[in-house]
Chain A
């Protein structure tokens, strides 16, 4: 009888063990000493696309109240990839693509109401896998301005990433040697205004700047007059700046239903201009059960240096990444959320069960679908 645990399960147990101990200690102290509340959440996420890439992810979130006005959150994620292709391109013969099966990520954030009106979140996030690591440090603040129905949000994030591409014997597709680093800063300003007791509007402007090595080390280009096979790793600019402007209108239709309209415009120094619009409809189908339907449309033009293939070996910047191609896409989503209360044999807690399915169809024939399901509880 084979009692060997699956590799994935062993990895989960290995990484969860110390985290669970930390959660238990903090939860015990805060619950007994400070009578604080605790919140746990688990989310499973599955992704599959028309290039036969499959990704799964497990996410765990634990939040505990430190004081009446502050809380501490820990997040741990484990994801796995099964990919005959990497990203959106087929792995060329002989190239060793990303062989990492698992990636670990963890985050910690501190949330506090600093004054009667000023709230903020400070967060640190770390992500690692065999050939990639990053950390993000961020701060966001929210405060009413003018009056209690007008809220302004400010946020800034800094992310540093390092890629160490897997070495390959293919000279043409050999990524640059050594660690490839990039630094990204994001700034956000948002304004939310309550228009009535059933409607609100939110405006958000985000700008970003990335410097360093912006490719993955694996995306390649094909020269049609060449051997008919991939002939070079893409060459992206070393800097990228862009901004996105978003407006969201949330409108209650009845006491049991609401609709959200969001439009977003974007442009950057790669030459990409993109627009998206989505509409979300939510309604109670029972006292504690919400049904959600989502439709999203997305359209972008190509990056200045993009081509599906090149007639001759390009100079300057060049890429064939499908993410930088011109395309439009339609997305449909359906979700359900159910709030429950468990109260039996002196054990009582409340929680939420949720599930969501999305189908994303590009006009070039490619597609992907995602499914997520989770449970969260306060105790």
Chain B
């Protein structure tokens, strides 16, 4: 059921586009205030703590060996 919900959300997102965008319109999206995890080292440290203090794992984007910060 969860996977079905996920697929539905994926399919629904293109429908949510409200306006035509040009390449130069994307500047604000690259601003640091628009990057949720804009500090890789801190994100890795936070996930270390969550891993020890909470019973759930993952779902925090691409942390792990690939970022060199496991």
Contact = CB atoms under 8 A, between A and B. Distances in A.
Given A191-B13, A203-B13, A323 B62 contact: no
Contact of A75 (B13, B31, B68): B68
B10 A203 contact: yes
Contacts of A300: 54-56
Nearest to A63: B68
Interface string B23-41: 1011111011110101111
A330 interface: no
B36 A250 contact: yes
A195 B16 contact: yes
A89 interface: no
Select the residue from B6, B10, B55 with max chain A CB neighbours within 10 A. Answer: B55
A208 B57 contact: yes
B70 A127 contact: yes
Contacts of A59: 41, 45, 69
B12 to A, nearest CB: 10
Contacts of A138: 64-67
A243 B57 CA distance: 8
A157 B14 CA distance: 29
A159 B14 CA distance: 35
B65 A303 contact: no
B68 A107 contact: yes
Given A121-B66, A123-B68, A194-B21, A45 B9 contact: no
Given A57-B45, A155-B66, A246-B60, A260 B39 contact: no
Which of the four size classes fits the interface of chain A?
Answer: 35 or more
Given A283-B33, A370-B49, A374-B42, A204 B66 contact: no
B68 A73 contact: yes
A87 B53 CA distance: 8
Interface in A196-220: 196-198, 200-201, 203-208
Contacts of A45: 42, 45
A146 B2 CA distance: 24
B59 to A, nearest CB: 3
Interface stretch (A5-13, A223-231, A262-270, A340-348): A262-270
6 closest Cβ contacts across the A-B interface?
A244-B59, A136-B65, A138-B65, A138-B66, A107-B68, A109-B68
Interface of A: 41, 43, 45, 47, 57, 59, 61, 73-75, 87-88, 105, 107-109, 121-125, 127, 134-140, 146, 148-150, 153, 155, 157-159, 186, 188, 190-191, 193-198, 200-201, 203-208, 242-248, 250, 252, 255-258, 260, 262, 264-268, 270, 272, 274, 276, 280, 282-284, 290, 298, 300, 303, 323-325, 329, 337, 354, 356, 358, 360, 368, 370, 372, 374
